Structure 1
Amino acid sequence: MTDITYSIVEHDGGWAYKVGDTFSETFPSHDAALAAARRAADEQEQPGETEGIVYEDKNAVWRQELSSGDDRPTTHVEDTK
């Protein structure tokens, strides 16, 4: 099982959540970024249909995979404020 952590950070004159090295859009307040991170984390854990996905990896290579709808990660929201 994969663990994903959403971290709330100051970013680009506001607040964002970060997963690995990737930032969300910038929010005007800490609370708005925290609410968005919690919503994204909750959605990430919801089961769905088995679907094909396409994504770009950290080496800028596009990948195609089949994602099982019941293979969901465990998510955490880390708020250091």
Structure 2
Amino acid sequence: MAKIHYKIVQHDGGWAYKLGDVFSESFPSHDAAVAAAKRVAQEQHVPGNAAYIEYQDEKGAWHTEYSAGDDRPDADVTG
């Protein structure tokens, strides 16, 4: 199972959660950003339907793979 970590950081005059190099929208307080990140992390645990997915990697190459829908990552919030 993959593990992902949402990190709470100062961003754009407020607070945001961040995954890798991607920021969420800004929130007016640290507590609001934590609440939003916890909500998003919980949603990562919800299984979906099996499907083929396409995504672009950091080098710009496109990939297609089968997602069983029940192979959800373990997500948490830090910061």
Q: Return the alpha-carbon distance in structure 1 between the equivalents of residues 23 and 42 of structure 2.
A: 17
Q: TM-score by structure 2 length?
A: 0.87
Gaps of 5+ in 1: none
Show the counterpart of 2:48.
Answer: 48
Does residue 68 of the first structure (1) align with residue 64 of the second (2)? no
Gaps of 5+ in 2: none
Partner amino acid, structure 2, of 1:35: A
CA deviations on 1:25-56 (whole Å, 9 max, x unpaired) are 11122111111110110001111111222222
Percent of aligned positions with the same letter in both sequences? Answer: 58
Show the counterpart of 2:28.
Answer: 28
Q: Return the alpha-carbon distance in structure 2 between the equivalents of residues 30 and 67 of structure 1.
A: 34
Q: Return the alpha-carbon distance in structure 2 between the equivalents of residues 44 and 78 of structure 1.
A: 16
- Range moving further from structure 2, 48-57 or 6-15: 48-57
| Pair 61,38 (structure 1): closer, same or farther in 2 beyond 3 Å | same
The number of residue pairs the alignment matches comes to 79
Partner amino acid, structure 2, of 1:6: Y
Does residue 18 of the first structure (1) align with residue 18 of the second (2)? yes
Show the counterpart of 2:58.
Answer: 58
Provide the aligned C-alpha RMSD in A: 1.3
